[in-house]
Amino acid sequence: MKLYVTIDFYDEMTAAVWTPARLKKYFTLLHSNGIERIYWIDQLEIMKYSIRRKTSENIKATLKNFDNKIAEKAIEFAHELGMEIFVLIKPYEMGIQVPEVSQDVPEDLPYVPVVGCQLGSVTKFGIEHPEVMLQRIPAPPHGDAESLTLNFSAPLSTDVTVKFFCSKQNSNYQLAESKIVPQGASNVSFKLPAGETFFILQIEDAVCGNIYKNIVTLYDKNGCQVPGSLAIQPLRYYKPTAYHLDHQGNVENILESGMLFDYFPGIPSGLYNSDMPPCCFFDFNTASHHALGVSLELNDRIHGFPNPENEVFQQFIQDWVTEDMQMGFDGLDLRISSHSSPLFWSDYGTGEAVRTARGNAHTELLRKVSGIVRNAGRIMSVHIEDFMLDSDAKYPCPMEIFWDYKRWIQEKLADEVTAKYIVTDGFTNANFAMLRSCKAAGIPVNVCPFIHVMDTPQSFSAWSREAGVEAFNIYEAATVWQPEADGDGFYEINPSHVDKIRRVKLL
């Protein structure tokens, strides 16, 4: 089985400053491990506008070392070694909606406010075209919020103490009230202090909670509901580490640092249908610091997620692809992925008509991009991710977009397919059906699982081979090899795991 690898150079630079010599040495290492093709994630704009100072300093130093031509050097080195190199773009990754805060934010980087803080990273396009992003649907008329009710999913089995904290700017919260809620109660209400915008509810040593969409209700003086934003985890204060997957910062005092609002952790846009986060259960007993945040502020858009129907967005992606093809990449792979996921996608548009229209717009974008790539004499590839396999426009879809991959295959909009797997403990009938469809259409497939959570890459590869897959795509390089802190060498993060990956090529 062929062996490919995906490189997210943004992650690579979290650990070290790079030079052309180090990159060439890295590619030589990959080639020596039997890798025939590199998928190079083009996130240069995200790299340029990261608010994390340490990452930003690494990026600036690396860009200077490469004279701002990192991709061009990557193409040159890959071809010198006889490897193919595809560019991988993520059209819906226009900003990192992890409103993270560094304690030392560089002053020369853009400030893009979201509820309670600012974006961690953003593209220049995202800054210049806020109107292109998915916009919040206006709420029904209402007055100012005057009270907050915390709703429990079931009557309390014991007395609980609920602490209610307030803040004007999502930091330095002060205790406003503490109530003992008796056993058997189903809710508790608090009057909102005038002038306060952010609130924390804290319940310690008690198992209680509710699903996200039901846990808190805000009311105006007439009893009408008022929209608000939830926070299910604290803000993140990042500390530099050598290994990019260990970048979750420790927050010792959430009352000082604040909460992370209107964000579902991880990359839920690629993991879950849009109805899952609202139906997830918030348990005060297991929640970080046993705390739930509530804000009267609302994000007016998903700042890092563009609307596929927007013509300005579609033209931007076409120009981006044209530029990458002119650089000399051997092909292009287009992946649906975004770190911008609110708790409630329905706040930004929902329903079958919305999902269908957005899905049709994305398919039309694929047609245009495919034409650009093929007219350049290159190979067009698309990601088909496992979250797409059972999607139907009649029901909630990831990002509230119907990803009509069956049509992509039928129309042969791609010369190849990258099958992205989040669940790696076996294949479903839908997985096999998609692979059979590609085989019938004469479209080669490589499988691309999350390698760092996979115990048996050989078994997964064997299943893939039996299903007609021709290549195993290591995702991603930074979870397998890391640059040394001193010098220009590399080390294997988990040597036994790397040995298993090498054996995939023998299948």
| Cβ–Cβ < 8 Å for 283, 121 | no
Q: Which pTM was predicted? A: 0.93
Q: Give the number of other Cβ atoms within 10 Å of residue 467's Cβ.
A: 18
Q: How far apart are CA 318 and CA 370, in angstroms?
A: 10
- What is the token pair recorded at 485? 């802190």
> How many other C-beta atoms can be found within 10 angstroms of the C-beta atom of residue 140?
8
pLDDT tens-place values along the chain, 507 residues long: 999 999 998 878 877 889 999 999 999 999 999 999 999 999 866 655 555 555 677 888 998 999 989 999 999 999 999 999 999 999 998 877 655 555 555 566 667 889 998 877 778 888 889 999 999 999 999 999 999 999 999 999 999 999 999 999 999 999 999 999 999 999 999 999 999 999 999 999 899 999 999 999 999 999 999 999 999 999 876 554 555 544 455 567 899 989 999 988 767 666 677 888 899 999 999 999 999 999 999 999 998 899 999 999 999 999 999 999 999 999 999 999 888 889 999 999 999 999 999 999 999 999 999 999 999 999 999 999 988 998 899 999 999 999 999 999 999 999 999 999 887 777 888 999 999 999 999 999 999 998 877 877 888 888 898 889 999 999 989 888 988 877 788 988 878 777 888 888 876
DSSP 158-210: S-EEEEEEEESSSSS-EEEEEEEEPTT--EEEEEPPTT--EEEEE--S---EE
431-435 long-range contacts, Cβ below 8 Å, gap at least 24?
A: 431/386, 431/389, 431/467, 432/467, 433/389, 434/384, 434/389, 434/405, 434/409, 435/467, 435/468, 435/469
What DSSP assignment string belongs to 275-289? Answer: THHHHSEEETTTSGG
**Two structure tokens written together for 456:** 């048996």
Residue 317: phi, psi to the nearest 5?
-65, -40
How do strand 471-475 and strand 2-7 relate by DSSP bridges? parallel
